Amino acid sequence: LPQYFAVLPETRGQGLGRVLWRAAMHWGQTHGAAYQLLQTEVDGPSDHLCQTEGLTSLGFTHTTAA
C-alpha cells in the first residue's frame, strides 16, 4: 500500500508539504521506483501542491460508503 504524509492545517503555508513531496520523489527515484501513486482530494492542499509541481490529473475515482 502507498505511504501517506500530511501537513497539519496549523503548519501549512511554510513549505513543509513541498519539502516532504520532493523528498518522497527523490527517494523513489534513487531507489528505482517504476511509478509513484498519488492520491489527493480534489482542490485540496495536496492537489494544489501537485499542480504547482507540474503534475496533471490522470482522472478521478469516487466511491460511496455502503
The residue ranking higher by pLDDT, 5 or 8, is 8
pLDDT in tens, 14-52: 999 899 989 988 999 999 998 888 888 888 888 888 899
Characterize 27-63 residue by residue with b for buried, 16 or more Cβ atoms within 10 angstroms of its Cβ, and e for exposed: eeeeeeeeeeebeeeeeeebbebbeeeeeeeeeeeee
- Tell whether the model's pLDDT for residue 1 goes beyond 70: no
Residue 41 confidence (pLDDT): 83
The residue ranking higher by pLDDT, 40 or 3, is 40
Rama region for 11: left / alpha / beta (φ>0; ψ in -120 to 50; rest): alpha
Residue 55 confidence (pLDDT): 87
